[in-house]
Each structure stands twice: as structure tokens, then as C-alpha cells.
Amino acid sequence: MNKLIALSGVFLFAFILVSCNGSDNGAGKPGNKAENPEGLIVVGFSQVGAESDWRRANTRSMRETFTREKGYRLILKDAQQKQEHQIAAIRDFIQIKVNYIVLAPVTEQGWDSVLEEARDAGIPVIIMDRMIKTLDDTLFVSWVGSDFRREGGMAAVWMEKTFKDKKKLKIAHMQGSMGSSAQIGRTEGLQEGVARNAGWQIVIRDSGDFAQVKGKEVMERFLSKYRDIDVLYCENDNMAFGAIQALNEARLPYGLFGGLKIVSFDATRAGLEQTLARNISYNVECNPLHGPRVENIIQQLQLGKTPNKIVYVDETAFSADTITQEEIDARAY
């Protein structure tokens, strides 16, 4: 008798498990599938990593937006700047049947097959921050991020104005993570400036992977080969902080004290403090506060609307000559 009771208990438990996994458990549209008894909208977010202040501010913005109180369950996976980790994360999201996938792609190339898997599973994909390169625009529903080429263009125009009297301009170029939209766009902006100005010469170039420690190492290498640099075109603030450390250790002048001028990107609070101190001469904004923008896209999809395919964020730039403490105090990141 006891055996019979135990056996029926096992069957009952197995039945409950099968029903839970197979049924529509009331999660948000359009997935309605994830293990989600509270009916939250489940968002799988594949983040690049934590390589910079910008990135950490972006992660905070997503965490602060997609809260349980607002009806979301955010599953965040940090890819540590590796595309293979992002592909694995997307496959996990498909497996657990999230309602939406948000991808901040480390690089532009190589997404088609995994995003086809997401599309076949009926999970809408939103691309955030950097872009992907694909011929098939049905692989994502919407993209929100920066116009990185325009950012690079703004920096090049500032250089044209600032150095208009210089016949030769020697530029050291510190690039971000190779193959990322932020690197590609900012590099293109500079290249277009070089094409317009016969006297501009990129004397040395290397990638610091958007990170401070690598930025310092790259700058040390630059300085071991060239001391006679007019401009360091540095593709983000954290690499610029590393470069400043290297310049300080080498006791070389920059910014306010003559020597080379640093152009940077992101305009984070720490970056703007360096701009006010005139260590960075020009800082182009890159806005990381995408959480509410992505939420807006998801809310439109929830209502059955079609969000804009491409959404560019408005951005400005700050010069050491004009920046104010009030602008820094107003900075949310």
C-alpha cells in the first residue's frame, strides 16, 4: 500500500513538472513561455562586458529600468568581451524561452546564424549600443545606439579648427575593440579628417580595447617609439585615463601644459572632470542610458506596434575651453 502511495506521488510530481514546462504560464508577450509563474516580461540581455565606465553606466541603466516592480525579469549575461560567450548566452535565452533578447554586440560581424535561431523561436531581438552587420534586417526588430561615425567626425572638425595653422599634424591613434561599431565609426571619422587634410599623418596606431590598463600599456608603447606627437586621438575615456597615467609617469607635458592634446570619447563624468582639468582637450559624448529606450521599444511591441527600426541618440561634445562644473554636476553617468 505504502509503495502504491509513493508511486502515485511520483506520477503526480512528474505530471506537474510536464504541465509547467509545456504550458503557457502567462509570461509577457510575445514569448509567453519562460519559466515565469509571476507573469513578468522576461528579458535576456547579453552585455559586452565591464571594460569601461561607459559600459558600467549602460549596465546600471538596464538594471534600473528592467525591475521586478515594473513587471520585468532581467537575465543579464556578461560576455567578458567575447563573441562566443554572447552566442552561448543567446542560445541559453532561446532555450529558457525569454520574451525578448537584448544584444549589445561586441563586434559587428558573425551574428546571422544565432539570430536566425532566435527568429525561428519567435523571440524578438533588440540590438543596443553597437550595430551588427547583416544583409537580413528581419533578424532584429529594432536598434538603438550612437552614430559613432558622426562622433568621430565631430572630433575631426575640432582638430581642423584647433590646428588650422599647423602645416603638419602628427596623430597617435588609440583604437577601441577592433571590429566594434564604436571603433569602426570613430576610426572612419578620423580617416575622413586625414583625407581632407594633407598635413595630417597618423604616426602610430594600436588598439587599447576600450580599457584603462591596456590604454596605459599602448601609450607606453607609443611613447617608446614617438615622443613628437601633436594629438592623441583616443577612442574612449578609460583608454585616455590610462594614457594620462603613462604620460605622467614619463613626465611628459600634455593638455594645459603644452605638448600633445588628447581627444577622447564617451564624456563620462570622470572624463569630463579630466576635460575641466584640461588634461583632455576635447571629449565627444556617447550616451549609455539606453535602458528606458529599450523599454520603450519593448512596450511598443507589447502593444502590437512596430517600433522604429533604427533609433539614433542625440549627442554633443565638450571642449576644455568652455566646459563648466555645472555640466559635470548634471552628468548622470
Q: How far apart are CA 217 and CA 53, in angstroms?
A: 18
What's the min distance (Å) between Cβ of 176 and ligand AHR? 6
Q: How far apart are CA 53 and CA 215, in angstroms?
A: 14
Would you state the cell numbers that stand for residue 70, as one nine-digit string?
Answer: 515594473
Q: How far apart are CA 53 and CA 60, in angstroms?
A: 11
Closer by beta carbon to ligand AHR, 51 or else 295: 51
Closer by beta carbon to ligand AHR, 36 or else 142: 142
What's the min distance (Å) between Cβ of 36 and ligand AHR? 30
Q: How far apart are CA 159 and CA 147, in angstroms?
A: 19
What's the min distance (Å) between Cβ of 5 and ligand AHR? 59
Contact residues for ligand AHR, defined by CB under 6 A: 51-52, 54-55, 129-130, 182, 210, 236, 265-266, 286
Closer by beta carbon to ligand AHR, 114 or else 128: 128
What's the min distance (Å) between Cβ of 118 and ligand AHR? 21
Q: Is 323 helix (H, G, I), strand (E, B) or coil?
A: coil
Closer by beta carbon to ligand AHR, 266 or else 295: 266
Among candidate residues 92, 168, 171, 74, the one with its CA nearest the CA of residue 128: 74
Q: How far apart are CA 305 and CA 79, in angstroms?
A: 31
What's the min distance (Å) between Cβ of 48 and ligand AHR? 7
Closer by beta carbon to ligand AHR, 210 or else 241: 210
Q: Is the peptide bond before 253 cis (omega within 30 degrees of 0)?
A: no
